[in-house]
Structure 1
Amino acid sequence: MNLLIASDSYKGSVSAYDAGESIKKGILRAISDADVTNVPMADGGEGTIDAILANREGRLHEVNVHDPLMHSITVSYAGITHEGKDTAIIECARSTGLPLIPEEQRNPMLLNSYGLGEQILDAVKQGYQHLIITLGGSATNDGGVGMLQALGWTFYNDRDEELPIQGNQVANVHRMSDQHRLSELDSCQITIASDVTNPFHGKNGATHVFGPQKGATPAQLETLDLALARLASVFSKQYGENIQTKPGSGAAGGLGGALYIGLQGTFEAGIDVVMDLTKLEDHIKQADLVITGEGSLDQQSLMGKVPHGVAKLAKKYKKPIIGLAGRHDLELEQLNRHLDVVLSIQTEARPMEQAIEPDFTRKQLTVTSEQLIRLYLLGRAHSTN
C-alpha cells in the first residue's frame, strides 16, 4: 500500500517535514509494511526553502543583509538546478519576515524591504539568472521601495532630495530613477511565488487587508494606502503601466508590484511552484491515499493554500485525500468539496498554548493518523465483503 503525506507546516508549532514524519509514524503503527512517502509542502511563506530542499538536492548560500529595522543579520537562500538551469530560491520571510520583529516593535512605518533586495543582489552576483522569490510572511508595507533601493533604484521626495535607505520611505516618494539599477537584472528571469491576488492599493489592497496584522494603526493604514497609490503613479510614469490592475501586486506590502514592474517578474501561485519543484504530481500518481494538512483548515485554505493545491492534484488522478489540522472550520461543506475527509488532531479541549506545543502536536498527529488508517483499512475490508 502506497501512502503519500504532503502536509504544510503547523504554524507556530511544527515544520512541514516534522508534521509529515509524525503522521508517517502513526501510519506505520497501523500498517508496518506500508510504503509511506513524506513530501513536505509550502505555499511561498516561511519554510518554503526547507520544504523544497527536503525533496531535492540543493545548496544554501549565506549572505549578510539588513532586517526590516536595518539591523545586520545573516540569512540564506537556496540554489538548485531546475529544468537544466541554475535557479536561486529566495524566501522573502528570511530577510523581511514578521517573526524577525518583536511584537512591540511591529510598526510598518519604520520597516523596509531593503534586505530582500540584498538577497536578490547576492544571488545575481553569484551568477544566478533564474530566481524564484517567495512572498509569504512579510513584515513590511513599503511598496518594495527598500528592495529596489538595494538594487540600485533612487527615490526622491517632493523637494527632489534623494531619500535615505533607513525606515519606510514610501510616504515620501514623489519621483524615481532606475539609471543605476543593477544591470545584470536585464538577463534575469524572475518568478514571483505568492498566494495573494490583492491589488497594490485600495480597500482590497496590500495595506488595508494585511497592514493590521503587521501592526498598522487606522491612521497609518490611511497614510500608507495613499502612499502606495502615489507610488503606483510614479511607477506608471516611469514604466507606462498601471500596476493596480495586476492581480498580486499587493502581495507582501506591495513587493509583488515592485518585482513585477521593476524586475519584470512573472506571478505564479506559490503552491504550484512548490508542487512543481518537488514533483508532487509524480508522487500522487503512485499513491493509494493522500494525506495533507496545516494548522488551521478553514475557508482561507481554499484560496491557494497547501491543502487546496494538493487536493486539486489528488482529484485529478481520482485519489482519496484526507486533511488533518490543529483546528478546522465548523462549516465543512466547502472543505469537503475538495477533501474527502477533514479531521482535527485535538482529542480534547485544551488551552491554545498547550495545543500548539511542538511535542504535543507531534503526538496528536501520530495518534490521529494511526486511528485514521485503522478506520480506512476497516472501510476497505467491509467494501470488499
Structure 2
Amino acid sequence: MRKIVVAPDSFKDSLSAPQVAAAIEAGIRLTLPQAQVIKVPVADGGEGTMETLVEALGGEYVNCLVNDPLMRQIPAAYGIVHTHGEPTAIIDLASASGLTLLSQEERNPLVTTTYGTGQLIADACNRGCRHVVMGIGGSATNDAGKGMLEALGCRFLDAAGAELKPGGKSLNDLTTIDTSGMNPRVAGCRFTIICDVDNPLFGPSGAAYIFAPQKGATPHDVVTLDNGLRRFATCVESMLHRDICQTQGAGAAGGVGAACLAFLQATLKPGIETVLETLQFSRLIDGADLVITGEGKIDRQTLMGKAPYGVLLPAREKGIPVVVLGGAVEDRDTLLQAGFRGIFCIQSSAMPLKRALQPHIAAENLKQTTAQIIRLLYPQG
C-alpha cells in the first residue's frame, strides 16, 4: 500500500490548509483509492498557524470580540493548549489584524492598526496563560506593533503629549512611549513569535519597502512609513538602550517583530521549523512513498523559509520525493535544483484571478492536478 503524506499550506484568499489537504487527498483517491493518505496541514507563521497547532496539540478555541485593522469590532478566535503543565495561548495575528479582513479599497497601512492583536493577547493573559505563541504573518499593518502595545496598556505620545492616531503614518510624530500602564499580567508571560521572514525593521530590505506595497501603500507612502519605523527605532533605543532595528525578523508584520522583541522580551523563531517540530513531522513521513505540499504562489521566495521548503528538507534527508503544487508558479529551475521532484501549477486554463481564487474552482483544480500526478507516478496503482 502506498503511503502518501499531504502537507500543504493555505492558498491565500482561497483555501485554508485543511481544505487544500482535503482536495489533494480527493485527487489521490481517484487513482489510488486504497492508499494510506496522511494529511498534515502546515503553516509558517501566517494564516492557519493557530488552527494547525491547536488541532495537533488537542487544544480548545476561545472566541472574543476585537477591533479589526480599521478599528471595527469583529469576532476572532485564538487557541489554548496545555503544554508542560502550563496554559499556552496560540494566536494568529492575521485573525485580528490580517490583510484578508479588508477589501482591496480599504487596504492602507498609513492608518491600519494591530490593536485587535493586542486585545487577543490581553484576553489570553487575563485567562491565566503564561506563554503566548503567536504567528505574525499576513498582517494588514505597518505600525511597528503600536496598536498591539496600546491594547496592552502602552501610550504613544507626540511632542505635545497627545496620543498618536492609529496606523504607521503617525509614528513620524512619536516622541514618547509610556509603558507605565502596561497590563501587569503581560509582564509575567513568555512570548514566542513565529514568522516566515527575516527582514530588518527599516531600510531597503525593511518592512515598509518590501511589504507595505502589498498592503496598499503607494511609493510615497512607503517613504513615509519607513521614516515612521526609523522614528520608532530611535525612541526605543533612547528609552530601552537597545537597538533592535537590524535584528532578523524585526520587520515582520510591519514591525510587530520589533515591538515584541523590545517590549515583550519575545523570542523570534522560524515559523515552519517550529510548526513541523511541534507536529513531529519527521516521524510522520517515515516510510512514505511521496510527499505532496503546496501554497498559493511558488517561486524563489519559497526557498526563504516558506512552508513547502520546510516540508522538503526532512523529506529530502530521508530520500522521499516531494511534489509541490501552486496556484501560480515561477522559477521552476531554481526550485528543482533545491530538490523538489516536480513543481506543478494547478490552473487548467486561463481565467481571471478572481475566478481562480474561488474556493470550489481552486479545490477542483487541486484535485484534478493531483490525480494526473498520481497517474503518472503510479500507473499500475
Pairwise TM-score range, normalised by the shorter structure? over 0.9
In the alignment, is residue 25 of structure 1 matched against residue 23 of structure 2? Answer: no
1:85-100 paired onto structure 2 within 5 Å: 85-100=86-101
TM-score normalized by the length of structure 2: 0.94
Cα 1:19–1:333 shift into 2, 3 Å? same
1:113-132 paired onto structure 2 within 5 Å: 113-132=114-133
Counterpart amino acid of 1:78?
A: G
The answer to whether the Cα contact below 8 Å between 1:62 and 1:74 also exists between their aligned partners in 2 is yes
CA deviation map 1:70-100 (0-9, x unaligned): 1122211111123443211111111111122
State how far apart, in whole Å, the 1-side matches of 2:14 and 2:28 are.
Answer: 21
State how far apart, in whole Å, the 1-side matches of 2:305 and 2:297 are.
Answer: 14
What is residue 52 of structure 1 aligned with on the other side?
53
- Find runs of 4+ consecutive structure 1 residues off by over 4 angstroms: 164-168
Counterpart amino acid of 1:63?
A: C
3-state secondary structure, aligned to 2:350: coil
How many residues are matched?
379
Deviation at 1:203, TM superposition (A): 1.4
Identity of aligned residues (%): 37
What is residue 320 of structure 1 aligned with on the other side?
321
What is residue 111 of structure 2 aligned with on the other side?
110
3-state secondary structure, aligned to 2:286: helix
CA deviation map 1:27-76 (0-9, x unaligned): 12222221111111111111222333443411111122111211122211
Deviation at 1:353, TM superposition (A): 3.2
The answer to whether the Cα contact below 8 Å between 2:202 and 2:208 also exists between their aligned partners in 1 is yes
Deviation at 1:167, TM superposition (A): 4.8
The answer to whether the Cα contact below 8 Å between 2:198 and 2:251 also exists between their aligned partners in 1 is yes
The answer to whether the Cα contact below 8 Å between 2:69 and 2:116 also exists between their aligned partners in 1 is yes
State how far apart, in whole Å, the 2-side matches of 1:164 and 1:229 are.
Answer: 16
CA deviation map 1:308-338 (0-9, x unaligned): 0000121122211111222311542334423
The answer to whether the Cα contact below 8 Å between 1:5 and 1:20 also exists between their aligned partners in 2 is yes
What is residue 204 of structure 2 aligned with on the other side?
203
3-state secondary structure, aligned to 1:148: helix
Structure 1: give runs of 5+ residues left out of the alignment: none
Cα 1:186–1:311 shift into 2, 3 Å? same
State how far apart, in whole Å, the 2-side matches of 1:165 and 1:348 are.
Answer: 46
Deviation at 1:6, TM superposition (A): 0.2
Cα 1:191–1:353 shift into 2, 3 Å? same
Counterpart amino acid of 2:131?
A: H
State how far apart, in whole Å, the 2-side matches of 1:170 and 1:82 are.
Answer: 38
The answer to whether the Cα contact below 8 Å between 2:10 and 2:295 also exists between their aligned partners in 1 is yes
State how far apart, in whole Å, the 2-side matches of 1:327 and 1:107 are.
Answer: 25
What is residue 342 of structure 2 aligned with on the other side?
341
State how far apart, in whole Å, the 2-side matches of 1:269 and 1:11 are.
Answer: 20
In the alignment, is residue 269 of structure 1 matched against residue 270 of structure 2? Answer: yes
CA deviation map 1:8-32 (0-9, x unaligned): 1122222211111111122122222
1:1-385 paired onto structure 2 within 5 Å: 1-159=2-160, 161-164=161-164, 166-168=166-168, 169-378=170-379
Deviation at 1:171, TM superposition (A): 2.1
The answer to whether the Cα contact below 8 Å between 1:194 and 1:269 also exists between their aligned partners in 2 is yes
State how far apart, in whole Å, the 2-side matches of 1:164 and 1:328 are.
Answer: 42
CA deviation map 1:290-316 (0-9, x unaligned): 111112211111111111000012112
Counterpart amino acid of 1:186?
A: A
TM-score normalized by the length of structure 1: 0.93
Structure 2: give runs of 5+ residues left out of the alignment: none
Which is further off, 220-229 or 127-136? 220-229
The answer to whether the Cα contact below 8 Å between 1:17 and 1:54 also exists between their aligned partners in 2 is no
